[in-house]
Structure 1
């Protein structure tokens, strides 16, 4: 025999009930016990009606009306007209009794557990009767059997305990004599030894099916629901979650206890002793194999089989020196909670016996705290024990797997993954079986924690990076295009899944939690909301995604001031904006320290040399123990372009305008031509070499006239260049006559830095530097006579974007 249970979503409406009929018809050559839940949502309607009635709120009648309408409509749609009369009469008669029960609760203004059981039972009683009549009308060999006549319990109303001796005897007697192909039974309901109606707890229909399966030695127990089995994590929170094809009873119990809602936790116990397999199947995809739960299923040697969680948890902590070495403290603590009928889901205790910490439901926290404080009133008054501490709004996240005990380092891997994503762990518990490692975290971190852990343990080392990009002008647009082009390569070759979640320019910003389409990001941005820098940060923070990276493609001082906020929230920062790293040394050091403290990389490779690996190379030199003695460099691609292009046949004004039009200069070209940009770059290199330096310490031998430097708009600046054309031509002629070329050079040596225009003779490393190229010469303890040279394109949107891209990949490989 097979036992099949169909949940509330599977029987939510006539359309779904027809799917159930098709599944039953396909089960050939099997006698079946079919257990059904209430129509989807009806149990909640009954509970709400009960609550309103007990509060003497007449609106309970609205819920009764909705319940009546749904069941009458189902009868009219499912059962042929000629057979409807009896069914309608039975349901309406039961509805009258239900109304009487609710009216009683309304009149006395109270809802006892016994009365509550009677009221909520009608969901299953209605659905099972209607479905059995429907199956008969469809020609199936079905019979209705009331579970209350089979399952016998104690009088613990709300969650009764089953008397298995009487129940098994009843089931064996009925099913041994039953000649019908299908026995249709209501789940959840039972009766006490003296005949009172009882219930098996919310979700008890699974339990009903398991009890019947065990009592009849069924071949298999099938739980039909709205998902295709048990998943490696909650698929609503972890989109990459996968169905677990097979799993052991013990693993399934752990996962169901910790929030895997496809299975009611007590369900496994009755079938475990008899090794009856359980199949979790999808009513809406019946061909899907789902998950098979069985004995000694080691999952092909896999360690972690699933990641589960249970929310709305509070931590209750009792601590104090008066607990150390005193027998009976734990007994009194747990006994107090037991007397108040408070269930404990997690326990942790320090080996010093200085504290005991337990996890309980949020709803029980206040009652528990009051009770424990009362129990230890004397010790608290004498200051030997502190008043109980309560932390609410927490969640337990658990790794589950039978084979975890035979693999070292899983706990470390779990905690390291959470730590890297700034998920603070409030408590830890691990049983001696090592089948479950649990951590208590903030509720707001659940999605990030589950996705991070799932990525670590299940996704074949594919790491998801979530990008938030501010600035989509020349550089930003190229950067997004490069990501679009390389997305497949990154995933296949580097195991990086890069998603752009947020984009902003100076006017609009847009977010998409599933990733913005990079084929159509401009249109998406046009439809966005007004940009607010603080609003952008708050959105990134509230999304709380794992592996989040803020990418700044602007030259904005205001944006650079926001980096600390991102780093403090474990959000990495990648930027081509030089302002932060060339600001006050204290701010530079603070950002570097925050990056270490919160494990959020702060990368700015493109601050010097665009896409050239200058800073990265310097870091490797320092890390390997080398010491930088001198740096000589041409660090401005725009200035190198200007002086490589300028001659006696073209004006200085036209060359600078050309450099701006081709994207070599900053939006404000005075930043480049004043030498400020180069000062920032050599300052950053000096700092990365280990020297404490401020920008005011750098000597700047400016070549621009004072009037040009003091202009307050690009238009005025370019006009001033025309005025001083003869001076620029004179500089050019002097260099040409000396058989030299003009280069804007930065130098750092003996703790001092300077920048300025120099005449470079033939044979010098800088002489043949073409176009907008940059060059850096590192003289170190290892590179004494012949410097380490880095040379290449040092300006332009494409190469700058590629440098930003490289920094993102570096973070992905951390």
Structure 2
């Protein structure tokens, strides 16, 4: 029978977010001795650290111990078997962006294994997967939380859930959902001054670590579309997928076939005129251009792309790589409930995961 005095933690993914989460987990285990949090499994895509007797792994040295082993990770069905047979309740922490792991959530949840994760793909993929995940959790009593799938550690999902669960009617959600796009447009089209050339700003953003290794993975708008899909579903819209509504790509068609991110950046200056014209058109109206996502709940319209805003608008006034999300609801009237702050980074993303873990512990112990 599962002990109520200990909880087993299993972690998939030990990269940037995974390392930050381990540090926060170590601090949490020290601050809250009960229930005892035992790390029993940790893996990357190539290695796994665990044993048949569920021996606790020292949290502080887990990354180093994992690096020293040669054991390959089990297939996901075998991992589910292993965790389901554990002599205590288990929380699986998925710090990856793997579709394969996301697809396995219904299996884990259906066998009583709770899941916390920043993995957007689980909640923005097919609508059937979304339904299967929450049905499995409801049937087994396992918990699933994914605060960091939108806005890193910002309380975006929990706020939306609270609005819906308390009976408020959400009419519109609008905002800047990408730290990359926020940084790019705050630099390219600032509210004062002229900004640099588009290609130069994209290159700078990559050098500073704000973009993916291939910036096209940010500029195609799909990351924002995934986040909008999640929020729209939570607001009650059965959105089929992130490609089932208009998403504006900022990749010139001629550069979609570039073989690498470096080749893309080399050729991007040839297309600066297009973005410059977009910026100038906004300036003629006394406005600035920003890359935003919006959900009109009443008309069931979701879209991602460039919009013009007055310089005094909260979306225009963002700094750095901050995110901003505005919830328009019946209760809040014409003045939206606004959440703003860092929407990217290992530490803040891990904070959202750790916060979700604390919520799960409060429900399963």
- Per the alignment, residue 621 of structure 1 pairs with 163
Question: Following the alignment from structure 2 to structure 1, what is the Cα–Cα distance between the partners of residues 76 and 288?
Answer: 47
1:638 aligns with 2:180: yes
Question: Following the alignment from structure 1 to structure 2, what is the Cα–Cα distance between the partners of residues 684 and 450?
Answer: 33
| Among candidates 252, 255, 259, match of residue 705 of structure 1 | 252
The structure whose RCO (Cα within 8 Å, separation 6+) is larger is 2
| Among candidates 65, 75, 84, match of residue 524 of structure 1 | 65
- Per the alignment, residue 764 of structure 1 pairs with 313
TM-fit CA distance, 1:525? 0.9
- Tell me if the contact between 2:42 and 2:50 (Cα under 8 Å) persists in the aligned partners: yes
Question: Following the alignment from structure 2 to structure 1, what is the Cα–Cα distance between the partners of residues 335 and 284?
Answer: 29
Question: Following the alignment from structure 2 to structure 1, what is the Cα–Cα distance between the partners of residues 26 and 60?
Answer: 8
| Among candidates 98, 103, 107, match of residue 561 of structure 1 | 103
Question: Following the alignment from structure 1 to structure 2, what is the Cα–Cα distance between the partners of residues 545 and 724?
Answer: 60
Secondary structure class of the residue paired with 2:335: coil
Closer/same/farther in 2, CA of residues 793 and 703 from structure 1, 3 Å limit = same
Question: Following the alignment from structure 2 to structure 1, what is the Cα–Cα distance between the partners of residues 47 and 271?
Answer: 40
| Among candidates 589, 602, 608, match of residue 150 of structure 2 | 608
Superposition map of 1:334-353 within 5 A: none
Superposition map of 1:229-308 within 5 A: none
Closer/same/farther in 2, CA of residues 636 and 545 from structure 1, 3 Å limit = farther
Question: Following the alignment from structure 1 to structure 2, what is the Cα–Cα distance between the partners of residues 637 and 521?
Answer: 30
Secondary structure class of the residue paired with 1:741: strand
Secondary structure class of the residue paired with 1:643: helix
Secondary structure class of the residue paired with 1:725: helix
Question: Following the alignment from structure 1 to structure 2, what is the Cα–Cα distance between the partners of residues 554 and 719?
Answer: 30
Closer/same/farther in 2, CA of residues 477 and 689 from structure 1, 3 Å limit = same
1:537 aligns with 2:79: yes
- Per the alignment, residue 576 of structure 1 pairs with 118
- Tell me if the contact between 1:472 and 1:553 (Cα under 8 Å) persists in the aligned partners: yes
Question: Following the alignment from structure 2 to structure 1, what is the Cα–Cα distance between the partners of residues 284 and 8?
Answer: 56
- Tell me if the contact between 1:533 and 1:559 (Cα under 8 Å) persists in the aligned partners: no
TM-fit CA distance, 1:545? 4.3
Closer/same/farther in 2, CA of residues 799 and 646 from structure 1, 3 Å limit = same
- Per the alignment, residue 355 of structure 2 pairs with 806
Secondary structure class of the residue paired with 1:802: helix
The CA deviation string for residues 646-703 of structure 1, in whole angstroms up to 9 with x for no partner, is: 3666454454344445554455543321111111111111100111112333112333
Superposition map of 1:220-619 within 5 A: 449-452=1-4, 455=5, 464-491=6-33, 495-511=34-50, 513-528=54-69, 529-534=71-76, 537-538=79-80, 540-541=82-83, 543-619=85-161
1:687 aligns with 2:258: no
TM-fit CA distance, 1:620? 0.9
* Structure 2 unaligned blocks of 5 or more: none
Question: Following the alignment from structure 2 to structure 1, what is the Cα–Cα distance between the partners of residues 346 and 327?
Answer: 26
TM-fit CA distance, 1:733? 4.1
Q: TM-score, normalised by structure 1?
A: 0.41
Question: Following the alignment from structure 2 to structure 1, what is the Cα–Cα distance between the partners of residues 214 and 45?
Answer: 16
Larger radius of gyration: 1
Question: Following the alignment from structure 1 to structure 2, what is the Cα–Cα distance between the partners of residues 784 and 700?
Answer: 28
Question: Following the alignment from structure 1 to structure 2, what is the Cα–Cα distance between the partners of residues 627 and 669?
Answer: 37
Question: Following the alignment from structure 2 to structure 1, what is the Cα–Cα distance between the partners of residues 221 and 302?
Answer: 13
TM-fit CA distance, 1:593? 0.9
Question: Following the alignment from structure 1 to structure 2, what is the Cα–Cα distance between the partners of residues 506 and 656?
Answer: 30
Q: TM-score, normalised by structure 2?
A: 0.88
TM-fit CA distance, 1:544? 1.9
- Per the alignment, residue 323 of structure 2 pairs with 774
- Per the alignment, residue 294 of structure 2 pairs with 747
- Tell me if the contact between 2:103 and 2:129 (Cα under 8 Å) persists in the aligned partners: no
The CA deviation string for residues 253-272 of structure 1, in whole angstroms up to 9 with x for no partner, is: xxxxxxxxxxxxxxxxxxxx
Secondary structure class of the residue paired with 1:697: coil
- Tell me if the contact between 1:707 and 1:720 (Cα under 8 Å) persists in the aligned partners: no
* Structure 1 unaligned blocks of 5 or more: 1-448, 456-463
- Tell me if the contact between 2:22 and 2:60 (Cα under 8 Å) persists in the aligned partners: no
Closer/same/farther in 2, CA of residues 617 and 776 from structure 1, 3 Å limit = same
- Per the alignment, residue 460 of structure 1 pairs with none
Question: Following the alignment from structure 1 to structure 2, what is the Cα–Cα distance between the partners of residues 698 and 766?
Answer: 22
Closer/same/farther in 2, CA of residues 597 and 535 from structure 1, 3 Å limit = closer
Secondary structure class of the residue paired with 2:312: coil
